[in-house]
Amino acid sequence: MKIKVTKKFRDKLNTQVDYIAKDKPSAARKFKEEIILRIKGIVNMPYQNRKSIFFDSNEIREFIY
pLDDT at 1: 75
Instruction: Give the whole-angstrom CA distance, residue 14 versus residue 52.
Output: 24
The DSSP letter of residue 19 is H
pLDDT band at residue 2 under the 50/70/90 scheme:
confident
Instruction: Give the whole-angstrom CA distance, residue 6 versus residue 55.
Output: 21
Task: Report the pLDDT averaged over residues 2-13.
Answer: 92
Residues 6+ apart with CB under 8 A from 19: none
pLDDT at 3: 85
pLDDT at 13: 96
Q: In residues, how long is the chain?
A: 65
**What amino acid occupies position 23?**
D
| Predicted confidence (pLDDT) per residue in 12-65, tens digit | 999 999 999 999 999 999 999 999 999 998 888 888 899 999 999 998 999 888
Instruction: Give the whole-angstrom CA distance, residue 21 versus residue 43.
Output: 29
